[in-house]
Amino acid sequence: MKRLLALLAALLLAACASPGLRGTGDLGLVIERASGSVLVVDTTARAILGRVEGLGDLSHASAVFSRDGRFAYVFGRDGGLTQVDLLERKIAGRIIQAGNSIGGAISQDGRLVAAQNYQPGGVKVFDAGTLELLADIPAAWDDGKKLSKVVGLADVPGNKFAFALFDAGEIWVADLAEPRQPKLAKFRGAGSQPYDGMVTPDGRYFIAGLFGEDGLALLDLWRPEQGARKILANYGKGQEKLPVFKMPHLRGWTVAGGRAYLPAIGKHEVLVVDTATWQEVGRIPVKGQPVFIMARPDGRQIWVNFAFPDYGQVQVIDTLEQKVVQTLAPGKAVLHMEFTPRGEAVWISARDDNRVVVYDTASFARLAELPAQSPSGIFFTSRAARIGF
């Protein structure tokens, strides 16, 4: 009898010690920008599972996921690239790959992680398993005399990465079929001062927002021989632009129902574009200068947050009605929003209130509030399966 009890106790102990099997499909990360840490969160339980520390300067940090959804690759401003194990909640690998970095992407086949850098300007490509450097692509321009800051890096089909050169006004597509020998296609004269880029959900179009002129640059990746062309070239014609206190971001499924929703730089407007013709079909007035314009996964709603000083609010656009139907005040300094995989809820970070607020996207009810230290980006593992994330 005693022996049986001992055996039972041992079994129980073993069960307690192992974390237990679980998937990662409902996990995610919240970046704590000032403390160099990330929270691992569970979107089903709406709970924080733990904190991972030691990721360096995380201002403007972003993350992509391995395609098994177990690892996050976090790109820090200080050039740090950190691989975080979501299940064990620890750092699995970390390198400092540049002096000043602005984000990254993971390849179609999941084997390559690419980082886009301001300093030294260019893109570096790493083995997703070992973080070994495979390719270094300096963003050289002006006859190789200068390096440009790189923005808008996105994975595109064919194990390629597309990105834009802020200083040079160019779009490049790097083919990494042979990871150690990248082949570059350069599209010069794409537009003045591209500040960010995105790829459409089908992987066909790469779009770069332009700071230096009205309009956006569009490259059809199915027909690259046509080159980059400008769309919405006249959206601000004759109107005074407001000063821009924060560059908008083009990430997010901003394509919904055959329309793309894009920020009008220096304006309190969302531009609506027909993706068949790339002509403007409308403008939706909003509370401030849009930073993130994100479509709920089903495309019925578009959620918009704003730049300083209007960043206490978030607005929701109904895509059928083409107008704002809800204004929410999640807290001070709203920096980012992320939808649960199928969009029944959205998580919003309020940096200066040190919290993340979860809303029901149908009723707009507050479902939960989670404490976080200066939270900025929120990234869920459902990104692992999406082109352009």
Partner 1 sequence: MGSGKPVRWVVACFFAGAMVAHDDAGAADPAPERAAELVRMVRQDCGSCHGLTLKGGLGPPLLPETLSEKPDESLRQTILHGRPGTPMPPWNAFMNEAEAGWIVRQLKQGFPEETRR
* Contact partner at residue 339 from ligand HEC, partner 1, none, CB < 5 to 8 Å by partner kind: none
Long-range contacts: 16-20, Cβ < 8 Å, 24+? 19/87, 19/88
Rounded-to-integer distance, Cα 111 and Cα 85, Å: 16
Query: Looking at beta carbons only, is 103 or 297 nearer to partner 1?
Result: 103
State the nearest-atom distance from the C-beta of 166 to partner 1, in Å.
Answer: 7
Q: Check residue 149 for interaction with partner 1 (CB under 8 A).
A: yes
Binding span for partner 1 by CB under 8 A among 6-14, 20-28, 153-161, 242-250: 242-250
Rounded-to-integer distance, Cα 210 and Cα 192, Å: 6
* Contact partner at residue 351 from ligand HEC, partner 1, none, CB < 5 to 8 Å by partner kind: partner 1
Contact 101, 78 (CB under 8 A): yes
Residue in 65, 73, 195, 389 binding partner 1, rule: CB under 8 A? 195
Q: What's the gap between Cα 15 and its chain centre?
A: 38
Residue in 82, 83, 116, 193 binding partner 1, rule: CB under 8 A? 193
Under rule CB under 6 A, which residues in 241-270 are in contact with ligand HEC? 244-247
Sheet holding 269-274, edge to edge: 255-256, 259-263, 269-274, 280-285
Query: Looking at beta carbons only, is 280 or 352 nearer to partner 1?
Result: 352
Q: Binding marks (x or -) toward partner 1, 279..318, rule CB under 8 A?
A: -----------------------------xx---------
Q: Among 342, 341, 248, 253, which residue's Cα sits nearest to residue 286? A: 248
Contact 152, 163 (CB under 8 A): yes
Q: Which two tokens stand for residue 105?
A: 């992407």
Interface with partner 1 by CB under 8 A: which residues?
33-34, 57, 59-60, 77-78, 99-100, 102, 118-119, 149, 166, 193, 195, 211-212, 243-247, 308-309, 333, 351-352
